[in-house]
Amino acid sequence: MASYPPAGLPALYAQISTRAAELTVAAIERMRAEIPAYARLDPALLLPDAVRTIEQLIRTASEGRELTERELAVFTGHGEARGRQGVPVTEMFRGWRLAVRMVLDEVVDAGRRLAISDRRLLELTNELVALTDAAILAMARGHLDAEFDLARHDQQRRADLVRGILFGTLGPGEIRIQVERYGVDSDREYRAIRARPRSAVPADRLVRWLEPPTGDRPRSLLAVIDGDIAGIVAGFPTGDIGTAVGIGPAARLDRMEPSFRRATRAMATADAFELTGVHDLADLGLLPAVLADSEVGEEVVRRYITPLGENDSATALLDTAEHYLSNGMRVDQTAREMRLHTNTVRYRLRRFQELIGIDLADPDRALEAWWALQRRRLHRAHRE
């Protein structure tokens, strides 16, 4: 820092120090008048930190040195306090610039009364600006830490609320109070939803898809639960998001547990069978039962799949039978889907029935064969 003659500089700093509290009060009044975030705060919450801030800057400048790490930590604490009080970082910067400008104006006025040259006053103000730059960087770090901590706590609070709704552990009154914080209408019905993130469809993309911009009130409340995105939505999401999403029936928020149970089962089924998009239990047919009842599944696999062995010929027969049953037992549709001649399809189906010893025209045998083929599909997806 520059060296100043003792005749003028100590007197200048002494004058500024004696007016530090008065300057701070004036700065806070202007901040509250011009900056909305500060207008909402009690001046008593701001004054102590603000006075210490101004006094620290003046003291450091008078000693001709830079701020120490310990002193910078104090500024970091001031920034953290503003962040926890809900002052946006842009408005904190605006308030800081306003206060610093008032101090610099006072320095110039007092310096001229003491006949300090303009050149030296310019050097002094540049030093003060350098100090304030270091201080505001420290305050910004504190503000960022506070924002991160608040966001983390809000995420945890939101997750606890969503869990309480979905698992049925919160009562109606408690739900009503807590959802108001997020602007959710507690009087309407919602659907439970659960979606599985993938590498191509990360959690943040899922949340944006499930929380589209709306008008007056949020139409969803979501959180991460056991690695999945889960929560409530007001409507049935449309479009294919590229991953498995399960949805339950509409219900009141205090009766959401059965809806979430169905949504979870629908998502697990869709995920196991490599289906994407939004599914409820109804549109999945018997697939949830195929997934859940492994004992029946293994029995029909031994009856309809195992006897054919594991070779290319068996694979061709089983693939054809699976497509045939999934296409409503239509040979023409199966041939188009598999890009085969209809006679090839008929031959493979006949051969499958001969080797297994069944007639697919029998509804019971056809259902059992379909069940076995779906279990084979699960095994194949698991291996892949």
Residue range 102-112, pLDDT digits in tens: 888 888 888 88
Cα(254)–Cα(229) distance, rounded to whole angstroms? 20
State which H helix or E strand residue 119 sits in.
Answer: helix 118-166
Cα(371)–Cα(231) distance, rounded to whole angstroms? 32
Cα(70)–Cα(224) distance, rounded to whole angstroms? 39
Helix (H, G, I), strand (E, B) or coil at 246: strand
- Which whole number is the average pLDDT over 63-87? 89
Q: Each residue of 333-347: pLDDT tens digit?
A: 999 999 999 999 999
Q: Each residue of 188-200: pLDDT tens digit?
A: 999 999 999 998 8
Q: Which of 11-25, 33-47, 83-97, 260-274 has the highest mean pLDDT?
A: 260-274
| pLDDT(6) > 50 | no
pLDDT at residue 257, rounded to an integer: 96
| pLDDT(166) > 70 | yes
Cα(247)–Cα(303) distance, rounded to whole angstroms? 34
| pLDDT(240) > 80 | no
- In percent, the amount of the chain with pLDDT more than 70 equals 96
Is-contact 210 220, C-beta < 8 A? Answer: yes
pTM score, whole prediction: 0.65
Task: Work out the pLDDT band at 321, boundaries 50, 70, 90.
Answer: very high
pLDDT at residue 4, rounded to an integer: 41
| pLDDT(217) > 60 | no
Q: Give CA torsion, residues 341, 346, 352, 358, to 10 deg.
A: 160
Cα(140)–Cα(31) distance, rounded to whole angstroms? 18
For the residues of 280-337, what is the DSSP string, one character each?
Answer: -TGGGTTHHHHHH-HHHHHHHHHHHTGGG-SSHHHHHHHHHHHHHHHTTT-HHHHHHH
Cα(312)–Cα(321) distance, rounded to whole angstroms? 14
| pLDDT(213) > 70 | no
pLDDT at residue 43, rounded to an integer: 85
Phi then psi for residue 170, to 5 deg, are -110, 140
- In percent, the amount of the chain with pLDDT more than 90 equals 51
Cα(244)–Cα(280) distance, rounded to whole angstroms? 11
- Which whole number is the average pLDDT over 40-49? 85
pLDDT at residue 140, rounded to an integer: 92
